[in-house]
Amino acid sequence: MRHLLSIEQLSKVEIEAILDRAESFAEVGRRDIKKVPTLRGRTVVTLFYESSTRTSSSFELAAKRLSADLVSVRAAGSSVDKGESLKDTIATLSAYEPAAIVLRHPHAGAAHMVANWADATVVNAGDGKHEHPSQALLDVYTLRRQLGSLDGKRIWIVGDVLHSRVARSNLIAFKAMGAELTVCGPPALIPRGLEQLGCEVTHSLDRLGEAEVVYALRLQRERMQESFVPSLREYAAHFQIDSRRLGRRQLLMHPGPVNRGVELSGEVIDSPQSLIAEQVASGLVVRMAILYELLASSDGERASAHRNGAGRPTPIGQPA
Amino acid sequence: MSLAQLDMRVGEGADLVLRRATVLDPVAGIDARHDVVIRDGSIAELAAPGEALAEGIEEIDAGALHAFPAFFDPHVHLRTPGQEHKEDIETGSRSAAAGGYCGVLAMANTEPPVSTPADIEALRTSARAAASVRVGFLATVTSAMQGEELTEMASLREAGACGFSDDGLPIRSALVLRRALQYQRLCGGTIALHEEDPDLSGTGVMHEGPVSAVLGLDGIPSISESTMIARDAALAGYEGGRIHVQHLSAAESVEAVRAAKAGGVQISCEASPHHLCLTDEAVRSLDPHRFKMNPPLRTEADRQALIEGLRDGTIDCVATDHAPHAPEEKEVPFEAAAMGVTGLETAFASLYTELVIPGVLDLALLIERMAGGAEPFGIERPSLAPGSEANIALCDLGAEWTVGEDGYESRSSNSWCGGRKLTGRVLMTLAGGQVAYRLRSFSLGVAA
C-alpha cells in the first residue's frame, strides 16, 4: 500500500492488517514510555485546509509517537491565504522530502491529485464530502473491540448523509466487514442513488430497534438556510437519537463534534452505550497503524528506506 | 444568409482537383466517386473519376479518402476579448479547421461580454485578419449577461450579430426571455439558450445520481435542464419566437424538445460529442481536464436518448461547446476546476469511432448533423453541389491516431478525448474556398 486515499481501495484483509497493527500500538500506549523509534529521522507533514480537532491532533500525536519529525501546516495563516495553489504548496512542502503528507482538503479527490504530484506517501484525512478513510478504520476498530466481528451485524447510520464524508467511508468499510447497513435521514439529506452502495434507505426511525449499532452524524446548522430541513426542532423531533429511541443493548457512535440536543440528546452521549470517547482513543492507535503500514512495513519500507538511506526501523516490542 | 457573409481572413481561392474521392453529401444527394474540381475557391465540377482535366493545378490522389461537406459548429468559445490566454480567433479557428469545420459561431460570454454593436464590429474586423474558417459572432441577449435589460438587439443585428445567447448562464427570468422573443419579431436572430435552473443546479458540479452519491459531489439534476426547456418552449410557442436549445444532456430534455416540435414551436437543438460518447461513470476518475463541464455528463440512458434524438431529427445538429481553459484552471480538485472541454479537433473522429464504426449511426446521418449547425441560425449549410463555395472536409476513415500526441491547434489542451485512440482523421479542410488546414504529415501528390 503506497497511499491511503480511500476506503474503497482496501480489501477486508488489508483493513484487518491495519486494525491488528493498531492493537499492538494499543499495548505500546499502556507503557510508561509511549514512543517507538520506527520513523526516526523521517518527516511527516500534516496539511489541513479545513478546521479539525480530532483528526489533526491524533495524526500529529501518532507521528510523534512513531518518532517522526512533524511539520503542521494550516491553510489559514499560510501562503494559501496569499492565493498559492494546492499544486504549488505541495511542491514547496516536497522540498523537505517528507515521507508522508497527511491532507485534509475541502474538495473531493484532492488527495488523489496530490498523490500524483508528490513523491511522498499521501494520507487522505478527509477530502470534501468524498471520503475519510482513517475515520472509517478507527470506527471499524472500535466496533471490532466491542463486538469481535462485524459480520452480519446491523448498523444504522442516521442523519445528514449528503454532506458527510464519514458516512460514505463508513458505509464502504462496514460493508466490507460484512455488516448489514441501513441509512436513515430526511429525504433531502440522503443523496439520490445511495442505495447503489449496498445499503437500505429509510426516512423513519420506527425500526431503529433492529440495529445493534446506531451511528449518528452531525447536522450542520447552516443546512437550515438551504431548506434541507425546516428547523432544528423539527429535525430533532424526527431524527434525534435519545434515550427513548435508543435501546439499552444498542451501541451508539458519532464522529464528533456533537451538536448536543440536535442529533443526540445529552443523556445518550454520556450513557455507557456511547462509544464516542473510545472512538477518539482509537483514533490515535489506528492512525499510528496507518502511518506504520504505509511507511514502515513491507513494500512501502523498501522504497522509503532507499530514499532516506535509513535501515529497517523496528518498533520496540512490535511483532514482525 | 449565405455562409460567405460570415467573416474570415481574405486569401486566394483554392485551385485543385481531388482525384477519385468518395464524395458524400446526403443533403445534396451526392454519394459517389468523383474527381472534385475546385477552381478559384468554388466547386467547379464533380467529374467522373479520373476524367477531370487538371492542367497546371494541384492534384490530390484521394482514391482512399472521403470528401464531405465541411462541418459547421454553432457553439464554440473563442474567448476573445479578455481571455486570450485560453484561446483567440486565430487559434480557435485553426482548431476548427483541423477538425474539418468551415464555419463556427462564437459565443458572447467573453470578458466583457459581447453586448454592443461596437463589440461585434471589432470582432468581425479581427476575424477578417485572423480567422482560418468562417466565423460568426453571437451577441448577448441581456446587457452584460446580467439577465435584466435587453441588449440593443436591432442595432446588434445591423452590426452583423448572427444571433443571441447568454450561453454560460440561463435566462433566469421568464419575463426577460419573453421580452427578447417579442423583440425578435423586429430584428430576427435566433435566440440560443443555455437551459438550466440555477436554483436546482445550485452548487452542483456533476450529474446527480449514484455516481455523485458515491463521490460526495454536489449533483446537477436532469430536471434542472428539462424544466427550463419546457418553460422556454412554451414562451417561444406563445410569442411565435425562434429558439435554439444548446448542449442537450438529458433524456427528459430530448423529450421536452420532441414535444415542443410536435406542438409546432420553432425550436431546434444541438448535442455535443462528449455527451454522445461519455457518461457520468467517467467522472469516477475525478479528472477535471476531461470530464468536468456544464451541462454534466449524464447516465447511459441519457446518452442513448441523445443518440436516438440525433437519429430521429429531434436533435438537429452536433455542436462541440468547445471550451478552452488554461492548465492552472484545470490542475485543481474537481469541484474547484473550470467547467468545459475542447472538442473541435476531435468531434468528427470521436463520433465516427464511437457511433459510426460500431453501427449505431449511419455515416451519412452523422455528416448531415455535423454540417447542420448553420441552419438553426438562418445560415445556409455547406454543400458539395457544383457552383458552391468550396467547403470540404477531406478525411481518411481508416487512419488511427492518438489525440494530443502531436499537440493541439487550440491554445488549450483540455480535450475530453486527450489520450484516446480514434479512427478517422481530417487530412485537409477547405473553408470559404481556401485551404484552411492540411495535416502536417499529409503529403500531397502533386500532378506532374
Distance CA A80, CA B398 (A): 50
Query: Residues A188, A193, A194, A196: what is their CA dihedral angle, to the nearest 10 degrees?
Result: 170
Tell me whether B214 touches chain A (CB under 8 Å): yes
Place domain B3-67+388-398+417-438 in its CATH homologous superfamily: Urease, subunit C, domain 1 (2.30.40.10)
DSSP conformation letters of A19-61 = HHHHHHHHHHHTSSS----TTTT-EEEEEESS--SHHHHHHHH
Residues of B in contact with A128 (CB under 8 A): 216-217, 333, 335
pLDDT at B443: 57
Residues of A in contact with B328 (CB under 8 A): 85
- Is B69:B393 a contact under the CB 8 Å cutoff? yes
Tally of CA atoms within 13 A in the half-sphere of B20 that contains its CB: 6
E strand or H helix at A266, and its extent?
A: helix A266-269
Q: Do A128 and B335 touch (CB under 8 A)?
A: yes
Tens-digit pLDDT profile for residues A158-167: 999 999 999 9
Distance CA A67, CA A63 (A): 6
Mutation site, B205, B284, B286, interface A, largest A CB count within 10 A? B286
Nearest-by-Cβ selection for B335 from A87, A108, A196? A108
pLDDT at A226: 79
User: What's the burial of B297, exposed, middle or buried (CB within 10 Å: 0-12/13-18/19+)?
Assistant: buried
Tell me whether A192 touches chain B (CB under 8 Å): yes
Mutation site, A114, A130, A172, interface B, largest B CB count within 10 A? A130
**Cα torsion angle, A102, A106, A112, A118, sign:** negative
C-alpha separations of B115 from A272, B85, B158, B179 in Å: 68, 21, 13, 17
Q: Do A109 and B286 touch (CB under 8 A)?
A: yes
Q: Do A107 and B333 touch (CB under 8 A)?
A: yes
C-alpha separations of B410 from A216, B88, B414 in Å: 51, 9, 10
Tally of CA atoms within 13 A in the half-sphere of B230 that contains its CB: 14
Kindly tell me if the per-residue pLDDT of A79 is higher than 90: no
- Is B286:A109 a contact under the CB 8 Å cutoff? yes
Distance CA B278, CA B300 (A): 8
pLDDT in tens, chain B (448 residues): 899 999 999 999 999 999 999 999 999 999 999 999 999 999 999 999 999 988 889 999 999 999 999 999 999 999 999 999 999 999 999 999 999 999 999 999 999 999 999 999 999 999 999 999 999 999 999 999 999 999 999 999 999 999 999 999 999 999 999 999 999 999 999 999 999 999 999 999 999 999 999 999 999 999 999 999 999 999 999 999 999 999 999 999 999 999 999 999 999 999 999 999 999 999 999 999 999 999 999 999 999 999 999 999 999 999 999 999 999 999 999 999 999 999 999 999 999 999 999 999 999 999 999 999 999 999 999 999 999 999 999 999 999 999 999 999 999 999 999 999 999 999 999 999 999 999 976 655 443 3
- Is A67:A91 a contact under the CB 8 Å cutoff? no
CA of A141 to nearest chain B CA: how many angstroms apart? 23
Kindly tell me if the per-residue pLDDT of A313 is higher than 50: no
Second-level CATH architecture of B70-377: Alpha-Beta Barrel (3.20)
For B321, the grid coordinates are: 461547446
**Cα torsion angle, A259, A261, A266, A267, sign:** negative
pLDDT at A299: 47
Tell me whether B100 touches chain A (CB under 8 Å): no
Tell me whether A165 touches chain B (CB under 8 Å): yes
pTM over 0.90: yes
Distance CA B142, CA B181 (A): 12
Q: Do A129 and B216 touch (CB under 8 A)?
A: yes
pLDDT at A319: 43
**Chain B residue closest in CA terms to A192:** B209
Q: Do B214 and A128 touch (CB under 8 A)?
A: no
Residues of A in contact with B286 (CB under 8 A): 108-109, 112-113
Residues of A in contact with B209 (CB under 8 A): 192-193
* A:10-69 residues touching chain B, CB 8 A cutoff: none
Nearest-by-Cβ selection for B334 from A109, A131, A194? A109
Second-level CATH architecture of A12-132+282-308: 3-Layer(aba) Sandwich (3.40)
Nearest-by-Cβ selection for B213 from A128, A131, A194? A194
Of the CATH numbers 1.10.10.10, 3.40.50.1370, 3.30.70.260, 3.40.1710.10, which one belongs to the domain with range A133-278? 3.40.50.1370
**Chain A residue closest in CA terms to B285:** A109
E strand or H helix at A155, and its extent?
A: strand A154-158
User: What's the burial of A192, exposed, middle or buried (CB within 10 Å: 0-12/13-18/19+)?
Assistant: middle
Residue (of A145, A141, A134, A168) closest to A60 by Cα position: A134
Helical packing angle, A298-308 and A276-295, nearest 10°: 60
Catalytic annotation, pick one of B73, B197, B302, B321: B321
- Listed by start position, the domains of chain B span 3-67+388-398+417-438, 70-377
Residues of B in contact with A129 (CB under 8 A): 216-218
The C-alpha cell 480537532 sits at: A53
The C-alpha cell 473563442 sits at: B78
Nearest-by-Cβ selection for A108 from B213, B286, B328? B286
Tally of CA atoms within 13 A in the half-sphere of A25 that contains its CB: 31
Q: Do A105 and B334 touch (CB under 8 A)?
A: no
Tell me whether B199 touches chain A (CB under 8 Å): no
E strand or H helix at A191, and its extent?
A: none
Kindly tell me if the per-residue pLDDT of A307 is higher than 60: no
pLDDT at B54: 80
Tens-digit pLDDT profile for residues A36-64: 999 999 999 999 999 888 999 999 999 99
Q: Do A192 and B219 touch (CB under 8 A)?
A: yes
SS (H, E, C) chain B: CCHHHCECCCCCCCCEEEEEEEEEECCCCEEEEEEEEEECCEEEEEECCCCCCCCCCEEEECCCCEEEECEEEEEECCCCCCCCCCCCHHHHHHHHHHCCEEEEEECCCCCCCCCCHHHHHHHHHHHHHHCCCEEEECECCEHHHCCCCECCHHHHHHHCCCCEECCCCCCCCHHHHHHHHHHHHHHCCCEEECCCCHHHHCCCCEECCHHHHHHCCCEECHHHHHHHHHHHHHHHHHHCCEEEECCCCCHHHHHHHHHHHHCCCEEEEEECHHHHHCCHHHHHHCCHHHHCCCCCCCCHHHHHHHHHHHHHCCCCEECCCECCCCHHHHCCCHHHCCCCCECCCCHHHHHHHHHHCCCCCCHHHHHHHHCCCCHHHCCCCCCCCCCCECCEEEEEEEEEEECCCCCCCCCCCCECCCCCEEEEEEEEEEECCEEEEECCCCCCCCCC
pLDDT at A29: 87
pLDDT at A279: 96
Cross-strand partners of B133: none
CA of A28 to nearest chain B CA: how many angstroms apart? 36
pLDDT at A223: 67
Q: Do B209 and A192 touch (CB under 8 A)?
A: yes
E strand or H helix at A285, and its extent?
A: helix A276-295
Kindly tell me if the per-residue pLDDT of A311 is higher than 90: no
pLDDT at B444: 53
E strand or H helix at A184, and its extent?
A: strand A180-184
C-alpha separations of A298 from A26, A40, A41, A132, B75 in Å: 21, 17, 19, 24, 54
CA of A35 to nearest chain B CA: how many angstroms apart? 36
Mutation site, A164, A170, A192, interface B, largest B CB count within 10 A? A192
- Is A166:A136 a contact under the CB 8 Å cutoff? yes
Which residues make up the CATH 3.40.50.1370 domain(s) of chain A? 12-132+282-308, 133-278
Q: Band of the pLDDT at A308, cuts 50, 70, 90? A: very low
User: Is B321 considered catalytic here?
Assistant: yes
Q: Do A130 and B215 touch (CB under 8 A)?
A: yes
Residue (of B437, B442, B440, B443) closest to B99 by Cα position: B437
Q: Do B210 and A110 touch (CB under 8 A)?
A: no
* Buried/exposed code over B340-358 (b: 16+ C-beta within 10 A; e: otherwise): bbbbbbbbbbbbbbbbbee
E strand or H helix at A123, and its extent?
A: strand A121-127
Q: What is the ipTM of this complex?
A: 0.88
Do strands B206-207 and B134-137 pair parallel, antiparallel, or not at all (unpaired)? unpaired
Q: Do A130 and B213 touch (CB under 8 A)?
A: no
Q: Do A197 and B213 touch (CB under 8 A)?
A: yes
For B328, the grid coordinates are: 492552472
SS (H, E, C) B116-180: CHHHHHHHHHHHHHHCCCEEEECECCEHHHCCCCECCHHHHHHHCCCCEECCCCCCCCHHHHHHH
Distance CA B186, CA B181 (A): 9
> Phi then psi for B101, rounded to 5 degrees?
-90, 140
Cross-strand partners of B135: B7, B104
Tell me whether A231 touches chain B (CB under 8 Å): no
Do strands B58-61 and B317-318 pair parallel, antiparallel, or not at all (unpaired)? unpaired
- Is B340:B321 a contact under the CB 8 Å cutoff? yes
Contacts of A223-227 with C-beta under 8 Å, sequence gap 24+, read A223/A160, A223/A163, A223/A189, A227/A188
**Chain B residue closest in CA terms to A169:** B214
